[in-house]
């Protein structure tokens, strides 16, 4: 497979996953705000600011808007074309990458990405968002899920698909930690939180679960008993929940090893080394280890490790083949 193609497939897949997560975050938190009406606009600031922070684009936000409120936050994360991580930008980038590899993906996948793109650019999208935002975000979420179904059902599960899988799980693991981290300020820097939750906080932690589509799965295990420790345990360490960090890491690790064909427990490049090592570390951690280390710090740390895996993957499959050619070429020219 061409390196450039692998790169495009990888980013197409990441952007789609990113869009879905963004849509869920927005949807859930907007609905949550409806419960906070009586609490006044202070609560609104406090509610949306961490969400902007979690996307990592706080500075950019400050350049466009004076205050953080429900409207500016959503506008920024949904339609703002000059925010590279807004829903509109992310879908446009997914489509741009898909366009580069149109010959490699199926017609069905291309058409769905194109449909999402055209939808977001249409005035209907704005109207729908104004009149019925949940329906709007639902449209994006369903688009992403439909695309995942299509890539599983219409693409041969070979190299290209494996790059898409790696991208999806890496992005998903990262987003799960970011969603989880949104409410970190209510937690102690180190150690388990002891303070009982106020009703608002309970709702906020429930929103974290919903934003990861984890509400139903969580309730089957823990009932309606919501708390930061259980939620963290579930979203980081649940072996079976498909959006938990550990689940995503295992899927990522397996996709990476399938690309190179290397045995479990071994590695043939840095991406496999980093992912295998991180997976093992998380597998051999308990939720107490996480809180003892310091919740926010831990999240920060594994996010850095995700980036490291992404970079190593790029080096191994995309960058290196380019450079190898370049170096040999230069040597040749020197010899001539």
Partner 1 sequence: MPRPPLTAFATVQAITLRAFSPKNKHLLITSGVQISQDFYLQSFVSIASLRSKVLTSNYQCDGFFDEMLSIPEGVRSHYRQFVESFNQLSDLEFDQKRRGIDVEFLRQGVTFNVYGNSEGTERIFPFDLIPRIIPAGEWETIEAGLIQRITALNLFLHDIYHEQRILKEKVIPSYFVLSARHFRREFVNFPVPNDVYIHICGTDLIRDGNGKYLVLEDNGRCPSGVSYVLENRRGMKRAFPRMFEKIGVRPVDTYPSELLKMLRFIGPQGVGDPTVVLLTPGAYNSAYFEHTYLARQMGIQIVEGRDLVVLDSRVYMRTTKGLQPVHVIYRRIDDDFLDPTVFRPDSVLGVPGLINAYRSGNVSLANSIGTGIADDKVMYYFVPRIIKFYLGQDPILDNVPTYLASEEADRKYIMENLGQLVVKAANESGGYGMLMGPSASKEEIEEFRKRIEADPRNYIAQPVISLSRHPTSCDGKFEGRHIDLRPFILYGEKPYVMPGGLTRVALKKGSLIVNSSQGGGSKDTWVLYGNE
The Cα–Cα gap between 272 and 282 comes to: 15
In angstroms, what is the minimal distance from the CB of 319 to partner 1?
A: 10
Minimum CB separation of residue 322 from partner 1 in Å reads 6
| C-beta of 3 vs 53, nearer to partner 1 | 3
We find the least distance from the C-beta atom of residue 283 to partner 1, in angstroms, to be: 28
Closer of 67 and 326 to partner 1 (Cβ):
326
Closer by beta carbon to partner 1, 62 or else 325: 325
Can you tell me the distance from the alpha carbon of 10 to that of 72, in angstroms, rounded to the nearest whole number? Answer: 31
Shortest Å, Cβ 54 to partner 1 = 28
CB of 4 to partner 1, least distance (A): 5
Nearest CB to partner 1, comparing residues 2 and 221: 2
Query: Are 55 and 99 a contacting pair, CB within 8 Å?
Result: no
Q: Is 229 exposed, middle or buried (0-12, 13-18, 19+ CB in 10 A)?
A: middle
Helix axes 199-211, 159-181, angle to 10 degrees: 170
Contact partners, residue 273, CB within 8 Å, separation at least 6: 267, 312
Q: Residue 248 contacts by C-beta under 8 Å, 6 or more apart in sequence? A: 169, 170, 172, 173, 176, 242
Cβ-based nearer residue to partner 1, 113 or 290: 113
- Binding stretches for partner 1 (CB under 8 A): 1-6, 92, 96, 99-100, 102-103, 107, 110-111, 114-115, 118-119, 121-124, 127, 142, 146, 159, 259, 317-318, 321-322, 324-326, 328-329, 332
């Amino acid at each position: 497979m061409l390196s450039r193609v692998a790169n495009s497939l990888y980013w197409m897949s990441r952007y789609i996953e990113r869009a879905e997560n963004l849509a869920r975050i927005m949807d859930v938190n907007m609905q949550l705000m409806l419960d906070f009406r009586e609490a006044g606009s202070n609560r609104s600031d406090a509610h949306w600011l961490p969400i902007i922070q979690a996307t990592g684009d706080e500075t950019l936000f400050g350049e466009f808007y004076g205050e953080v409120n429900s409207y500016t936050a959503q506008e920024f994360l949904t339609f703002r074309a000059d925010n590279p991580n807004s829903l509109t930008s992310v879908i446009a980038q997914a489509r741009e990458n898909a366009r580069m590899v149109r010959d490699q993906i199926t017609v069905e996948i291309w058409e769905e990405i194109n449909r999402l793109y055209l939808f977001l650019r249409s005035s209907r999208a704005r109207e729908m968002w104004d009149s019925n935002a949940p329906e709007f975000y639902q449209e994006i979420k369903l688009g992403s899920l439909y695309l995942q179904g299509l890539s599983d059902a219409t693409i041969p599960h070979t190299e290209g698909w494996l790059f898409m899988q790696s991208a999806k799980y890496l992005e998903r693991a990262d987003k799960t930690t970011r969603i989880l981290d949104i409410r970190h300020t209510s937690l102690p820097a180190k150690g388990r939180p002891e303070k009982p939750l106020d009703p608002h906080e309970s709702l906020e932690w429930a929103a974290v679960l919903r934003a990861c589509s984890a509400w139903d799965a969580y309730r089957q295990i823990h009932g309606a008993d919501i708390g930061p420790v259980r939620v963290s345990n579930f979203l980081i360490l649940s072996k079976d929940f498909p959006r938990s960090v550990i689940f995503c890491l295992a899927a990522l690790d397996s996709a990476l090893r399938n690309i190179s064909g290397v045995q479990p427990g071994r590695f043939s490049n840095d991406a496999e080394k980093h992912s295998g090592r991180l997976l093992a570390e998380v597998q051999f951690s308990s939720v107490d280890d996480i809180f003892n280390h310091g919740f926010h710090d831990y999240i920060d740390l594994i996010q850095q490790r995700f980036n490291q895996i992404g970079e190593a993957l790029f080096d191994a499959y995309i960058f290196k083949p380019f450079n190898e050619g370049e170096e040999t070429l230069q040597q040749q020219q020197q010899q001539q």
